[in-house]
Homo-oligomer: A and B are copies of this chain.
Amino acid sequence: MSSLNPNLASKKKLIDKALDEYLPVVFPEELYRAARHLIKAGGKRLRPTVLLLGAQTVQPDIAVDAILPAAVAVELVHNFTLIHDDIMDADATRRSIETVHTKWGTSEGILAGDALYAKAFEVLSYTKTQPDAAMKCLRLLSKACLHICEGQWLDITFEHNKNVSEADYLDMVQKKTAVLYAAGLAMGGILGGASDNEVNALWEFGIALGISFQIRDDVLDLITPSEVLGKDRASDLIEGKMTLIMIHGLRHRVIIEPSRLADENGINNAVEALQRSGSINYAMEKARELLEVGKSRLSIFANSEAKKELMKLADFAVSREY
C-alpha cells in the first residue's frame, strides 16, 4: 500500500493497531488464533481505508478515532468472507500462508469465520457517532453481508457454466466484492454527516472501484507468478470460475480444457490464447470505463486531500501489479 501512496500508510497503521486491539487472543485461544491468522498475514486494508477517506471527503476534520471502529468492522467482515470462501473453493494458500481451514480444519475454519463476523458487529457498536447514523451503518453493513452471500452463491453456481453473460458476471461481482467497498464508503459518508445524495455518490464510486479491483484481480490471477500472488496462479481457470475474461474468451471461441491446466506450460498456453483473443485487454478496458463513471460521481465534493486519495486509489485499482 505504501508504494501506492505514502499518505495512506499512516491510515493502514492505525487500522492494523485497532484490528489487533479489538481482536485479542482470549479463551479458547486457538479459536482466536485461527480468527486472526489471515489478518496477521497482511492485506492492503483497502476497505477500511476507503471508509475513512469517504468520511474525510465529506468532513475533512472528522475525528478519525471516533469512526475507526466502523472501519475495523468492514475489514473484519472482509476477512470472515476470505476464510469461508477458502473453504468453499478448497484453496490451500492465501497471502503466502496456509488458509485457515487447511491449518485448523474445516469445522474450525467455519467457526473462525463466524467469530470474525460476530466481532465485526460488536466492534461496529463502538463507533462514536449520532445513534441514528450508527443504525444506518448497521443496516448498510448487514445488507452488504447479505449481498456478499448472494454474490458468492452466484459465483459457485456459475462455475463451469458457459451460459453466464457479462451482465451476470457484473451482477455477481458487484454483490460479492464491490458492495463492501461501497458500503464502506457510504458508511464513511454517513459518519461524516453526508446528505443522501452524497452518500449515493460515494456508494456508486465504491461499486465502480470494487468491480474494477475484482476485474484487475481476475487479470493478475492469470499473469502473475504464484510467489508474487501469494496463492496458486490461474486458480480461477482451474476452478472453472466465470470471469469477464473467460466470458469474452468463450465468445471468441477460446477453448480452455481443464485437463490441460495441470502444469505451468498448459496454463501459459491458456493465458496466451486469452491474450490473442483480446479478452484480457477487453476486461481491463471495461474496468477503466467503469472507473471513469465512478470517479465522475465524486465531482459533487469539494477538492480535498481525501478526495484526491480516493481518485489515486481508483487509478491504482487498474494499474496495480499486486
Contact with B along A127-146 (1 / 0, CB 8 A): 00001101100110111011
The answer to whether residues A150 and B84 also contact, given A124-B138, A138-B124 and a CB cut-off of 8 A, is: no
B156 contacts A139, C-beta separation under 8 Å: no
B108 contacts A84, C-beta separation under 8 Å: no
A149 contacts B84, C-beta separation under 8 Å: no
B143 contacts A122, C-beta separation under 8 Å: yes
User: How many whole Å from A25's CB to the nearest CB in chain B?
Assistant: 12
Q: Return the contact of A145 from the options B31, B121, B150 (Cβ within 8 A).
A: B121
Segment 87-127 of A: residues with Cβ below 8 Å from B? 87-88, 106-108, 110-111, 113-115, 117-122, 124-125
B142 contacts A125, C-beta separation under 8 Å: yes
B150 contacts A122, C-beta separation under 8 Å: no
Segment 140-192 of A: residues with Cβ below 8 Å from B? 141-143, 145-146, 148-150, 152-154, 156-157
Residue of A88, A132, A154 with most chain B CB atoms under a 10 A cut-off: A88
Alpha-carbon distance A118/B142, docked complex (angstroms): 5
Which residues of B are found within 8 Å of A88, using beta-carbon distances? 106-107, 110-111
